[in-house]
Structure 1
Amino acid sequence: MVDRSFAQLSLASLYDALNPWGPGDDFYLGLVMSARSVLDVGCGTGRLLARARRDGHRGRLTGLDPAAAMLVQARRREPGVEWVLGDVRTQPWGGEFDLVVMTGHAFQVLLTEEELRLVLGSVRAALADRGRFVFETRNPAARAWTRWTPDRVDRVSDTDGRAVRVWREVEGPLVGDRVTFEETFEGEGWDFRRLSRSTLRFTPPDTLSRRLREAGLGVLEQFGDWDRKPLTLRSPEIITVAGSVHRPPPAFDQTPFTGMDQCLD
């Protein structure tokens, strides 16, 4: 099931305003620009790959998302990227991508062990020899959900310039490593509030490493924040760079990839 905040066009159009470009986007953009072929799983409104294309990336850029309303934004933004509606578990990609990313904490929507196993297996299958999988998930030790309270209101404007207020509220105590919350959207001139209910999984680092190994992936690097500081108990993020445990890739070259001739190697 796709959360209403992503499935409904009027709410999906607010995503970029609620989540402006930041250090995390810069982090991923550097990786994308130095990879020949990139798959963005859960690409949302497509701003990462669209920016890479505008900045001169001339290789293969593919964005995948199960929410049609999000892909509407992506296709409007940059028609020169391959946008695919669907799920990585059902795509026939085999060894086609040098880099697979999951940004915007999309990894946290994988709630069950079965979902996690299938998605990680599909990511591993999509990676080219010596490819890499990079993603982030909120560090459960930082307890980000304690700050999701109705008194913390985001104020943005919709596509018609009308003011919109958005806030979150957690529903009850944690259930294992899962947090369920309701997001409320209240717009100027709207007939009623719009609600979106979501559940996220907060996976600790040891479990994360174990599940990656089971999928044939190994942790190459882990950071606690976008400045590449080491992961600690107090770090807000668990940013993971993973690769095949069979043939570890070399250190990642940050040289921008701009030439189609490199695709012909």
Structure 2
Amino acid sequence: MNNTYARHAAICAKFYELAVDRHAVEDFIFQRSGVKPGHRALFVGGMFEIASCLFRHGVDLTVVDYSAEMVSVGRKHLPDVKVEVADLRSLPFENEFDFVFVVGRVFTHMISDEDLRLAVRSCHKALRRSGKLFFDNYEDSKIGLTNYFNGELCVRDETAEIRRRSTTTRLSDSPLVVLWEATYTGILDGKPIEFCDAIEHRAWSRGEIQPFLKQAGFELLAQGDNFDETSFFTLAKAL
């Protein structure tokens, strides 16, 4: 895991908030996953605006992130939700949830097969029998197609203007791993910001993830295009 999201957690969280249409993602997740008010769900990762949507719709929510600094940001966004530090590969839960959501391409940081295997098993352990895992990840044939990874994005509201310029370099084909390098500049809460990031990302084919799900005890229910142009979603049931 990269520590950029620890050092610059507030900036990264704000960028996600402004770069993603949370209403469109909210509708997408509810339609594709089948989650309902009253379901108990675990949300993994720093897309707190999406987690907030689930909570406001009556989902009994717990949120985790691997970075203590990002968790601190999450607690400010979600004051009525339990937000804790946890690693996707070793979630501290057993048979507790109806749903686990890993939304925002968090699995892209599982570079090795062993990391991926541990993460999928950890999600399975956290779920009740017949509980569902809903997650997304970059697709190998699409990861470089838009300016999200190769180009410039500028997002803004009344408190921030953040500009990100990024490029990717392919490091390996099997698995498909890229080195993503980015520069962030702008203003947040009246203060200038500037930092650089360099991190490896793993993309999959839709078939590549299926053996990992089967080995962990999941039944594949659905796969399809995600809410953005570079990734796909998967829905699986714990057996």
Inter-partner Cα distance in structure 1 for 2:97 and 2:149: 41
* Structure label with greater radius of gyration: 1
Inter-partner Cα distance in structure 1 for 2:38 and 2:203: 29
From 15, 36, 41, the equivalent of 2:44 is 41
Inter-partner Cα distance in structure 1 for 2:149 and 2:235: 34
Matching of residue 170 in structure 1 with residue 168 in structure 2: yes
The letter for the 2-side match of 1:182 is: E
Please name the residue that 2:152 is paired with: 153
Q: Secondary structure at the match of 2:116?
A: helix
Contact 1:32 1:99 in 2 (8 A): yes
Please name the residue that 1:105 is paired with: 105
Deviations, residues 106-149 of structure 1 (Å, cap 9, x unaligned): 1211111111111111111111011011111222123x314348
Q: Alignment length, in residue pairs?
A: 232
Structure 1 unaligned regions, length at least 5:
228-234, 247-265
Matching of residue 132 in structure 1 with residue 129 in structure 2: no
Query: Residues 140-219 of structure 1 correspond to what in structure 2 (within 5 A)?
Result: 140-142=140-142, 144-148=143-147, 152-157=151-156, 160-161=159-160, 163-171=161-169, 173-176=170-173, 177-187=176-186, 193-219=194-220
Contact 1:181 1:197 in 2 (8 A): yes
The letter for the 2-side match of 1:198 is: I
Inter-partner Cα distance in structure 2 for 1:126 and 1:102: 12
- Alpha-carbon deviation of 1:226? 4.5
- Alpha-carbon deviation of 1:202? 1.0
The letter for the 1-side match of 2:129 is: D
Q: Structure with the greater relative contact order (CA < 8 A, sep ≥ 6): 1 or 2? A: 1
Contact 2:17 2:47 in 1 (8 A): yes
Summarize the Cα distance change of 1:151–1:219 in structure 2 as closer, same or farther, 3 Å threshold.
closer
Structure 1 stretches (4+) deviating beyond 6 angstroms? 189-192
Which has the larger share of strand? 2
Q: CA RMSD in A?
A: 2.8
From 221, 234, 239, the equivalent of 1:240 is 234
- Alpha-carbon deviation of 1:17? 1.6
Inter-partner Cα distance in structure 2 for 1:61 and 1:49: 8
TM-score, normalised relative to structure 2: 0.84
TM-score, normalised relative to structure 1: 0.76
Identity %: 23
Please name the residue that 2:63 is paired with: 63
Q: Secondary structure at the match of 2:11?
A: helix
Inter-partner Cα distance in structure 2 for 1:220 and 1:151: 32
Inter-partner Cα distance in structure 1 for 2:150 and 2:167: 9
Contact 1:111 1:178 in 2 (8 A): yes
Structure 2 unaligned regions, length at least 5:
none
Summarize the Cα distance change of 1:115–1:35 in structure 2 as closer, same or farther, 3 Å threshold.
farther
